[in-house]
């Protein structure tokens, strides 16, 4: 190879590697940012087509109308509640209060008790206590009132990455449930809640409480609870593994 050919080959190689480096830089620059705590995952909008905001805290992953949103009428299936002489309405995890001729989305006051949790909620644990979370509202089970009370956010609520989404006892495994009859998400949540209450009443074991709500916990009680829960769900048209 003569000198001129060597020079040409070196120039071509330099041009090739330069283009490769530019392409790699462009790909790196355009790479989507990884998801962060409390922020939507790449490709998932923070606001949907209806103006609802994504609640990504604790990987909750549901859309809700912002506080202050006004609507002319309440959604179907709402439930009325009263607290301190004020009226509130609850539907799908969203709280409303009367305003003029319509209703406005609000934050409910602590102490307000509901009988059934929202269809979609996230369970998080702080200090060994389970909290049930949806739309920036926290609930805890109140045995004396046989319901779930709205409570102030836990002291560590501003550090969601430190809040486990499962009970401290890692030996407790959740059942895997499949709807066999095309049940809606709302129906599945209602069936699971009612079967949970029935299984808890039959066995005295409550997996939402530390140690199952029993001194020292009991593997046998957990097994009995799982069997009761499975039987109830199977009778309602679910496959349970």
140-178 confidence digits (pLDDT tens): 988 888 889 999 998 877 654 445 555 544 334 456 777
Could you tell me the pLDDT band of residue 25, with boundaries at 50, 70 and 90? Answer: very low
Percent of the chain scoring above 70 in pLDDT: 68
CB 95 within 8 A of CB 107: yes
pLDDT at 159: 56
Alpha-carbon distance 66 to 105, whole Å?
7
User: Smallest Cα–Cα separation from 208: which of 156, 111, 137, 142?
Assistant: 142
Alpha-carbon distance 218 to 207, whole Å?
11
Burial 19-48 (b: 16+ CB within 10 A, else e): eeeeeeeeeeeeeeeeeeeeebeeeeeeee
Could you tell me the pLDDT band of residue 72, with boundaries at 50, 70 and 90? Answer: very high
239 strand-pairing partners: 178
Q: pTM (2 decimals)?
A: 0.54
68 strand-pairing partners: none
CB 90 within 8 A of CB 137: no
- Three-class SS of residue 24? helix
Contacts of 128 (CB under 8 A, 6+ apart): 168, 210
Percent of the chain scoring above 90 in pLDDT: 27
- Count of residues making up the chain: 241
Q: Both tokens of residue 220? A: 């046998």
77-118 confidence digits (pLDDT tens): 899 999 988 999 999 999 999 999 999 999 999 999 998 888
Range from 9-13, 88-92, 125-129 carrying the lowest mean pLDDT: 9-13
The most confident of the ranges 42-46, 67-71, 216-220 is: 67-71
CA within 13 Å, CB half, 108: 29
SS3 readout for 82-93: EECCEEEEEECC
Mean pLDDT of the chain: 76
């Amino acid at each position: 190879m003569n000198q001129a050919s060597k020079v040409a080959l070196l120039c071509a190689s330099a041009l090739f590697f330069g283009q490769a480096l530019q392409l790699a830089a462009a790909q790196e620059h355009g790479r989507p940012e990884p998801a962060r705590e409390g922020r939507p995952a790449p490709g998932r909008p923070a606001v949907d087509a209806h103006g609802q905001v994504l609640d990504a805290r604790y990987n909750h992953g549901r859309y809700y109308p912002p506080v202050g949103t006004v609507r002319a009428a309440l959604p179907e299936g709402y439930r009325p509640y009263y607290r301190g002489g004020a009226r509130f309405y609850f539907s799908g995890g969203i709280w409303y209060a009367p305003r003029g001729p319509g209703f406005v989305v609000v934050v409910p006051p602590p102490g307000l008790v509901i009988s059934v949790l929202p269809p979609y909620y996230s369970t998080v644990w702080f200090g060994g206590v389970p909290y049930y979370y949806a739309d920036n509202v926290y609930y805890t089970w109140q045995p004396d009132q046989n319901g779930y009370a709205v409570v102030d956010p836990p002291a560590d609520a501003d550090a969601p990455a430190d809040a486990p989404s499962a009970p401290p006892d890692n030996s407790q495994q959740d059942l895997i449930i499949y709807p066999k009859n095309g049940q809606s998400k709302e129906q599945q949540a209602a069936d699971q809640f009612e079967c949970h209450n029935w299984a808890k009443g039959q066995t005295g074991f409550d997996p939402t409480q530390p140690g199952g709500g029993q001194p020292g916990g009991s593997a046998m009680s957990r097994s009995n609870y799982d069997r009761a829960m499975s039987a109830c769900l199977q009778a309602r048209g679910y496959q349970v593994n």
